[in-house]
Amino acid sequence: MTAMTMSVTHEKEWTLLGSAVSESDREDIHRCLNGDEEAYGRIIRRYEPQIAAQMWRFSRDQLILEELVQEVFVEAYTSLANYKGKAPFLHWLRRIATRVGYRYWKVKGRDKTRRDTLEASREEWMNRGKPESPSEAGELVYLLLDKLPPQERMVLTLLYFEQWDTAEIAEHMGWSRSLVKVRAFRARKKLKIYLEDAGYESIGA
Amino acid sequence: MNPSERNKLDEVERLAQVARGDQPPATDVSTDVLRRIRQEKAVINERPLVMFAMGSLALAVIVLAVSAPAMLSMLDPLNTLFETTPLAMM
């Protein structure tokens, strides 16, 4: 069932939301389930910066970033009735964001023109000075991880940026824990080979 | 893994740690999200009508398939007498 088809019959369900939900979220989710769009607007404005920061790891293009953030909030709206409040609302949103980003990587990985452009940027970045700012470091890590297939890239992104452990990644991605470990191992190995091939001594040194 | 290999990966992890402070460009998607939600709601509201139309179409095709041979035999009742006999019947 989607939020769009919901009615006051959800009155009972929303009161069962777990204690992990903040009072403002609880109120807005309740209003939203009863068709108040402005309440959802408030939820979006509350969490947009965090979700945008997360989606920035999936694309460094502002237009695509906006599309991805939109997609996350649209998907969250259509699944709102399934949110049980066992974890804070932001955690739930982040999981949807991870799914949306992963889907995007799987689709855009087939775009050869884009891959060639990134390869050129990657080489340029590898020869630049040592990244000083978080933005430069973010760009370089993005380009390095882009060498990997989506599954392996996802594992390292979740490990490095979201700081999830292998059990959390396994649970969220629907993979076994050993598969997550294998993918992390393979990803690191590929990254090492790439850095060697690129003549790496110390990035940008 | 030797120390040099380890250092390469540590460097990537160190970069990732610095990159955690990376801020994305400002976005404002609330208007667009709410517009998309309204559009999807409209599609959902039309869904029963579309399902009904598709059901009617399917039913019409079945009726046509059943009634076409009957219609043909009514137009030309002797036609069935002159139909070629299948080889298997000979």
State pLDDT tens for residues A23-68: 899 999 999 999 898 999 999 999 999 999 999 999 999 999 999 9
Which of A33, A69, A71, A190 is the mutation pick for testing B, counting most B CBs within 10 A?
A: A69
pTM: 0.73
Least confident of A129-133, A192-196, B21-25: A129-133
Q: Which residue of chain A has the CA closest to B25? A: A62
What is the b/e burial string over A171-184, where b = at least 16 CB atoms within 10 angstroms of the residue's CB? ebbebeeebbeebb
Q: Which residue of chain A has the CA closest to B6? A: A192
State pLDDT tens for residues B35-88: 999 998 888 777 788 899 999 999 999 999 988 888 887 887 777 676 665 555
Interface pTM, i.e. ipTM: 0.73
